[in-house]
């Protein structure tokens, strides 16, 4: 098979399939990750003391351990926990779903792992952005008679979104790259596909290089979109990059 045919007939169609699976993992993980990041970040910046402690612990654990360990735990570790639970709950007459829900499909395990890990990182940017708002801004709002919730929606949120955008956007770019770990739980996404192709055709250099180009394209596109968004939301004098 000549090289061109190999690329156009075999490699590229297979990698495109992998790319589609990658997108199916990245998009929900990114959306859910940002959601968790906003909730956790706001809780850590302005919540009651006990909540701060709890959320700090969550962030410390998910940022302090490698994503491989987390992902492996979700996919390979939890079924063991499920069996253990089943051995207790089963004889007591509990229905099966009370322990079966801990057994994740590879796809569910990936999305859960990426969401929770990404959310922990996202919350750092949200928290930092909220805390970076100068005290004077809140004082001015108070002096005009804003209530706490009015201050949040008119001052805190718009400013924090702009300040956090850079960091949160970069975090999504990280997520694009770390979605490659899904191959560890047997998903044939971009990296998994390329790994299989490399060993099947015995042409690792070409396979991995082409895969690298796919990721470069994804990351570059995402970066352009992020810059565009930052420019659109730009307000003179508010340096967004600083908060990141």
Partner 1 sequence: MSLLPDFSFYNAIVYIVKGTSLTVALIVGSMLTGLAVGLPMAAVQVYGPRWGRFLVGVYVWFFRGIPILVLLFLFYFGIFGLVEKILAEIMGEKVNVPPFVATLATLGLTSGAYQSQIFRGAILSLHLGQYQAALSLGFTRVGALTHIILPQALRVAIPAWANEYSILLKDSALAYTLGTLEIMSRIRQMVSITHLHVPFYILAGILYYFLTWVGIKALKKLEAKIRIPGLGAEVERETTLEDRTGQSE
Partner 2 sequence: MVAQSKVLAFAKPRIAPDGAPPLMEAKNITKILGGKLILDDISLSLNKGEFKVLIGPSGSGKSTLLQCVHFLTIPDKGDVFLEGRSALGMGHKNISAFRQEIGMIFQDFNLFDHLTAKDNVSIALRKVKKWPKDKALAKAMEELDKVGLAEKADLYPAQLSGGQKQRVSIARAMAMEPKLMLLDEPTSALDPELIGEVLNVIANLAKGGMTMLMVTHQIGFARHLIHEIDFMENGRIIERGDPESLFADGSSRTAVFCSKLTELTGNQ
Q: Are 37 and 130 in contact (CB under 8 A)?
A: no
Q: Which stretch binds partner 2 (CB under 8 A): 30-38, 149-157, 186-194, 207-215?
A: 149-157
Between CA 29 and CA 176 the distance in angstroms is 10
Q: Which stretch binds partner 2 (CB under 8 A): 58-66, 90-98, 221-229, 230-238?
A: 230-238
Q: Does 72 bind partner 1 (CB under 8 A)?
A: yes
Q: Are 31 and 81 in contact (CB under 8 A)?
A: no
Q: Which two structure tokens, joined as six digits, stand for 98?
A: 């009370």
49 binds, among partner 1, partner 2, none (CB under 5 to 8 A by kind): none
HSE value, Cβ hemisphere, 13 Å, CA-based, for 160: 25
Q: Which stretch binds partner 2 (CB under 8 A): 10-18, 77-85, 123-131, 158-166?
A: 158-166
Instruction: Tell me the three state secondary structure of residue 95.
Output: coil
Instruction: Compute the least distance from the CB of residue 152 to partner 2, in Å.
Output: 11
> Is the CB of 98 or the CB of 132 nearer to partner 2?
132
Between CA 172 and CA 35 the distance in angstroms is 12
Q: Does 7 bind partner 2 (CB under 8 A)?
A: no
> Is the CB of 30 or the CB of 207 nearer to partner 1?
207
Nearest to 150 by CA among 159, 137, 160, 141: 141
Instruction: Tell me the three state secondary structure of residue 92.
Output: coil
Q: Does 65 bind partner 1 (CB under 8 A)?
A: yes
Between CA 8 and CA 11 the distance in angstroms is 6
Q: Which residues bind partner 1 (CB under 8 A)?
A: 60-61, 63-70, 72-73, 76-77, 80-81, 148, 177-181, 183, 191, 194-195, 198, 204-205, 207-209, 211-212, 215-216, 219-220
Q: Which residues bind partner 2 (CB under 8 A)?
A: 134, 136-137, 139-147, 150, 153-155, 158-159, 162, 235-238
């Amino acid at each position: 098979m000549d090289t061109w045919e190999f690329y156009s007939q075999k490699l590229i169609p297979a990698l495109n399939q992998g790319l589609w699976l990658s997108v199916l993992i990245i998009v929900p993980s990114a959306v859910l990750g940002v959601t968790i990041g906003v909730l956790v970040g706001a809780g850590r910046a302005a919540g009651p003391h006990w909540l701060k402690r709890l959320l700090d612990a969550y962030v410390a654990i998910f940022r302090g351990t490698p994503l491989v360990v987390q992902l492996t735990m979700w996919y390979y570790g939890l079924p063991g926990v499920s069996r253990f639970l089943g051995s207790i709950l089963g004889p007591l007459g509990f229905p099966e779903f009370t322990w079966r829900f801990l057994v994740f499909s590879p796809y569910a395990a990936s999305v859960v792992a990426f969401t929770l890990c990404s959310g922990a990182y996202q919350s750092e940017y949200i928290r930092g952005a909220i805390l970076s708002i100068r005290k004077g801004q809140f004082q001015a709002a108070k002096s005009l008679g804003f209530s706490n919730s009015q201050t949040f929606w008119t001052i805190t949120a718009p400013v924090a979104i702009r300040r956090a955008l850079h960091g949160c956007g970069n975090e999504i770019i990280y997520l694009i790259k770390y979605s490659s770990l899904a191959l560890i739980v047997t998903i044939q996404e971009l990296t998994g596909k390329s790994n299989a192709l490399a060993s099947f055709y015995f042409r690792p250099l070409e396979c991995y290089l082409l895969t690298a180009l796919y990721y470069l394209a994804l990351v570059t596109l995402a970066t352009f979109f992020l810059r565009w968004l930052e420019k659109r939301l730009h307000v003179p004098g508010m340096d967004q990059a600083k908060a990141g």
